[in-house]
Amino acid sequence: MSAESYHGMSVLWYTEWLSPHEAHVHGILELVFDGHTKYQRVTIARTGSFGLALFLDGFAQSTEYDEFIYHESLVHPAMITHGNPRKVLMIGGGEGATLREVLKHESVERAVMVDIDEELVNLCRKHLPEWHKGAFDDPRAELVFMDGKKLIEETKEKFDVIILDLTDPVKGTPGVLLYTKEFYEEVRDRLNPGGVMVTQATSLRYYERAFAVIYNTVASVFPVARRYRVFVPSFYSDWGFVLGSLGRDPLEVPREEIESKLTKLQLRYLDPEQYRFLFAMPRYLTERLSKYKEVSTLSNPLEL
CB neighbour list of residue 284: distance below 8 Å, 6 or more residues apart:
none
**Residues 231-290 close enough to bind ligand SAM by CB under 6 A:** none
CA distance 271 to 278: 11
Give the active site residue among 66, 115, 165, 168.
Answer: 165
In the complex, minimum distance from the CB of residue 283 to ligand SAM, in angstroms, rounded to a whole number? 27
Cβ-count burial 159-186 (b if 16+ within 10 Å, e if not): bbbbbbbbbbbbeebbbbbbbbbbbbeb
101's enclosing H/E stretch is helix 97-102
Binding mask 44-83 for ligand SAM (x = CB under 6 A): ------------x----xx-------x-------------
In the complex, minimum distance from the CB of residue 37 to ligand SAM, in angstroms, rounded to a whole number? 8
CA 200 to chain centre: 4
Q: Which stretch binds ligand SAM (CB under 6 A): 80-88, 173-181, 204-212, 285-293?
A: 173-181
Q: Which stretch binds ligand SAM (CB under 6 A): 1-9, 28-36, 165-173, 258-266?
A: 165-173
CB atoms within 10 A of CB 42: 22
Instruction: Check residue 221 and give left, alpha or beta (phi > 0: left; psi -120 to 50: alpha).
Output: alpha
Torsion of CA 83, 88, 92, 93, to 10 degrees: 60
Size of the site for ligand SAM (CB under 6 A): 25
Instruction: Check residue 250 and give left, alpha or beta (phi > 0: left; psi -120 to 50: alpha).
Output: alpha
Catalytic: 165? yes
In the complex, minimum distance from the CB of residue 220 to ligand SAM, in angstroms, rounded to a whole number? 21
- 217 is a contact residue toward ligand SAM (CB under 6 A): no
- 149 is a contact residue toward ligand SAM (CB under 6 A): yes
Nearer to ligand SAM, 121 or 262 (CB): 121
Active site residues: 165
Footprint of ligand SAM on this chain (CB under 6 A)? 56, 61-62, 70, 91-95, 114-117, 120, 147-149, 165-168, 174-175, 178, 200
